Amino acid sequence: MKLYKYKSNRIPKAILISAVCAGLFLGAVGSHPGKAYADAIWDHWQAADAAVAKGTPEAAVPHWKFLVDHYASIGDWENAALFCGRLDEYYDNAKAYDQAIRYYELENEYWLKAGKDWGAVDLQRAEQIRTTIELYMNVSDPEVLKARSAPTSGKLSKFEPEYGTYIGMYTERDPQMLNFYDRSEQFYGKKHALYLAYTQVGKPFPKQYVTRAKQAGAAMQIAWEPSNGLDAVTEAVVRDWAREAKAAGIPIFLRYASEMNGNWVVWHGDPQKYIQNFRMVHDIMAQEAPNVAMVWSPGDVPMYSMDAYYPGDDYVDWVGVSLYTEPYENGDPKQANMQATSPIERLDYLYKTYAARKPLMLSETAVSHRANLPQETFTDYALLNLQRLYEVMPAKYPRLKSITYFNVNLGMTESMNDYLLRDNDAVMKLYSKMIASPYYLTKVENGAKPSNLQGTVPLGGDRYFTKSTKLTPFVKIPDIYIGKLEYYLNGKLLETQTSPPFGLELQAGDVPDGSVIELAVYNRAGEKTASKSFPLNSGISVAVDGKDLAFEQPPVIRDGNTLTPLRAIFESMGAAVKWDQSTQTATATKGATTLAIQIGSSTALKNNVPVKLEMPAQLVNGYTMVPARFVGEAFGGTVNWDGASRTVQIRNSGKSSINQQAEPNVTTITGALTNTATQTKATFKSWLKVQYTKVVQLWNKLA
């Protein structure tokens, strides 16, 4: 558990200014011999200072830019960084945020080139003032979701889901739940996949925690801390512990010696010694306890020092991180105000560095809804960032596969924040609502995935959804709090939202082909601060006897006709399908009926009798595609069209679909996808067909 937060130890301005003064002439003369050039550098310095003294800092800007370019050109990175600092602060105060971001990022870059990590705070501020508008879409495409969540190697780590995210919680200091893990459903409406416990090296294996986790059908994350230093972690101690871990018989995520990059832990300070020690623990666990996955888990700050402690891919199963979202640095309003910082960007560096190789977990995280020191409540802040934590982060970072919430009111200790969900009704309600998604997995197992096979992808490009979707926005503005979001579909206002959770539910039938959705953002003063448009597409679904079919090649629309994959539908209806490459002909047989369909032909043969197709059969990406109605009716099925969900509904038994629309409004597949005149004609033809069928059925009964 993190005892206190790291604050970036940026060098005092006075010291930097002295360094610059001392280096002005050295830099100038060393690069460009001659007093004249040195005088020019000094003139820019004096002119900038004079402008600031007069209260006209805008007049100093060109001089600061000159000095930045000069010192960067000669490789004097410290002086270049300092003058970037003057520019980013000026632009920040002037609310010229794009320029401020540019120079904050440059300042960080130059400090790194100077061999110092003093620019981390500049990156943090750049993200605080960056306007961000992103949209994510829920889809039912297991192959896309699996590929997006996979490591570069394609091989999953121990206990890694194919896609989806484990939900976890630290409950020990929740006075109502304590370590009775089987109470999770009672309080949150859902089981959790794992629970967090802390123990120290040298203390007995935490059997009681494991027993209760086993009773709840859960796994454990155990933070094993070498509180007496790394030298006390001997092979004998580790081996004994490993044997007890194996006997536990449940999956264990072993978060050994975490937050090693922070000077608040005794195992900080010697990266090589730490790495050797971690590897030793890994090797013994691999020998003695195959049910243990090794988790290497730094703190999210200090950012640049964590990499030196990485033990190597062969010794790490998961990469974790401790990451907290709170309104004030260390819970103290006299320190940095952190309300403009979200958990999203705080994961970004770690994700970009390690996610291609290892699954990531938030091994310890929380959002504060109350700062205990100043006794301020931050419900709006908590709701905004809790949604970012549980809805946006798994969407933006698909390799984030476990989140453990640190459910504690710290009172006046440590960070002095209240993270306890039950202490705020609105926060508790939102948490329960978000984890209800099947994307949050409740059982730790290799290759796990959501029960509904759904997940989230960024909106854009040629991606599409079927039946229905939820759009989840990630919006961040320099004003911090969002006053209003407006959703426009093809220029028409669909919905306005003024408080989190933000998001929009849509049916496929609401989204015509080639649609555009726009998100407009307003601050609390009612000012429109930003907007962004995204392409939005819905696809055609096919259901046979109420069961949705999954296609490698989805249905497509050609000249107003819905073309569907022949093989998948015929096989779902019990027909056998063969393909003759030489004649480009697909043949399907069911009972006494044989169908032959040749690519490019507008006529199929049913028991050698020609049948006219609405459109010739086509090859699309190697798949035989034919008009949906023909495929559905070829073996006696009944085809209906659900316009709301854009679903072709086939009843193999010949019975009408339970989702069929009222008779006068039934449309054919073709009619639903063409212009209004064609729709009217097709609707009437379809209605007549239904009436004729009913008359025949009634006549047969009477006979």
| 281, pLDDT greater than 50 | yes
**Closest-CA residue to 394 (of 618, 130, 148, 185):** 148
The answer to whether the CB of 88 falls within 8 A of the CB of 122 is: yes
137: pLDDT strictly greater than 80? yes
pTM of the model: 0.85
Same structural domain for residues 245 and 363?
A: yes
**What tens digit of pLDDT does each residue of 420-430 get?**
999 999 999 99
Which CA distances in Å does 370 have to 6, 58, 189, 416, 521?
20, 39, 24, 9, 26
Question: Which residue in the list 107, 162, 326, 364 is annotated as catalytic?
Answer: 364
Burial class (CB in 10 A: 0-12, 13-18, 19+), 83: buried
CA distance 500 to 481: 10
- What pLDDT does residue 675 have? 35
pLDDT digits (tens, 9 = 90+) for 161-208: 999 999 999 999 999 999 999 999 999 999 999 999 999 999 999 999
* 668 found inside a domain: no
Lowest-confidence range among 69-73, 248-252, 463-467, 553-557? 553-557
Which residues share a beta bridge with 457? 137
pLDDT at 40: 86
Q: Which pLDDT belongs to residue 37?
A: 61
The pLDDT assigned to 522 comes to 98
Asked whether residue 507 is domain-assigned, the answer is: yes
What is the DSSP code (8-state) at residue 337?
B
In terms of domains, do 357 and 276 share one?
A: yes
Specify if 17 maps to a domain.
no
Eight-state DSSP code of residue 606: E
> How many other CB atoms are there within 10 angstroms of residue 676's CB atom?
8
Q: Which of 203-217, 256-270, 676-690 has the lowest mean pLDDT?
A: 676-690
What is the average pLDDT across 250-273?
97
Indicate the DSSP class of residue 665.
Answer: G
Quickly state the pLDDT bin for 35 (edges 50, 70, 90).
low
Same domain, yes or no: 171 and 307:
yes
Provide the pLDDT for residue 598: 93
Radius of gyration of the chain (CA): 31
* Residues in Cβ contact with 688 at an 8 Å cutoff, skipping those fewer than 6 apart: none
**Number of domains present in the structure of the chain:** 4
Residue 448 lies in a domain: no
Give the Cα separation of 146 and 398 in Å (integer): 9
- CATH code at 484? 2.60.40.10
Give how far Cα 161 sits from Cα of 166, 325, 435, 444, 608, Å.
8, 26, 16, 8, 50
As given in the structure block, the two tokens for residue 205 are 């294996």
For position 690, what pLDDT does the model report? 47
Examine the fold and report which residue of 539, 556, 581 is the final residue of a domain before the chain moves on: 539
682 with 667: CB under 8 angstroms?
yes
Write down the pLDDT at residue 34.
52
Indicate whether 190 belongs to any domain: yes
In a domain, 341, yes or no: yes
CA atoms of 29 and 519, how far apart (whole Å): 54
CATH of the domain at 565: 3.30.457.10
**Sorting pLDDT into bands at 50, 70 and 90, what band is 551?**
confident
Determine contact, residues 24/42, Cβ cutoff 8 Å. yes
Structural domain includes residue 333: yes
3-class state of residue 232 by DSSP = helix
- Catalytic-role residue among 107, 259, 326, 518: 259
- Long-range CB pairs of 169-173, under 8 A, 24+ apart, other chains included: 169/195, 169/196, 169/404, 169/405, 169/407, 170/195, 170/196, 170/197, 170/364, 170/404, 170/405, 170/406, 170/407, 170/408, 171/195, 171/407, 172/197, 173/407, 173/408, 173/409, 173/420
72 and 149 share a domain? no
Domain with 182 in it: 133-441
| Same domain, yes or no: 503 and 624 | no
Pair (522, 552) in one structural domain: no
What is the CATH number for 83? 1.25.40
Q: Do 357 and 409 lie in a common domain?
A: yes
The rounded distance, in Å, linking the Cα atoms of 640 and 562 is 13
Does 556 lie in the same domain as 477? no
Mean pLDDT of the region 555-563: 78
Residue type, 425: D
Quickly state the pLDDT bin for 154 (edges 50, 70, 90): very high
Task: Return the H-helix or E-strand segment holding 593.
Answer: strand 593-598
* 364 tagged catalytic: yes
Amino acid identity at 591: G
Q: What is the pLDDT of residue 141?
A: 87
595 occurs within a structural domain: yes
Same domain, 207 and 349: yes
Last residue of a domain, one of 414, 441, 468: 441
Whether 335 and 186 share a structural domain: yes
**Residue 28: per-residue pLDDT:** 45
Q: Is 672 helix (H, G, I), strand (E, B) or coil?
A: helix
Of the residues 610, 626, 651, the one at which a domain ends? 651
Q: Are residues 256 and 205 in the same domain?
A: yes
| Percent share of the chain, pLDDT over 70 | 87
Quote the pLDDT of residue 463: 86
Tell how far CA 162 is from the center of its chain: 15
- Complete edge-to-edge strand list for the sheet that includes strand 609-612: 576-580, 585-590, 593-598, 603-606, 609-612
Residue 665 pLDDT grade (very low, low, confident, very high; cuts 50, 70, 90): very low
Instruction: Provide the pairing of β-strand 440-441 with 417-418.
Output: unpaired
Higher pLDDT, 558 or 521: 521
More confident: 684 or 394: 394
**199 and 98 inside one domain:** no
Predicted confidence at residue 526, as pLDDT, reads: 96
| CATH number assigned to the domain comprising residue 206 | 3.20.20.80
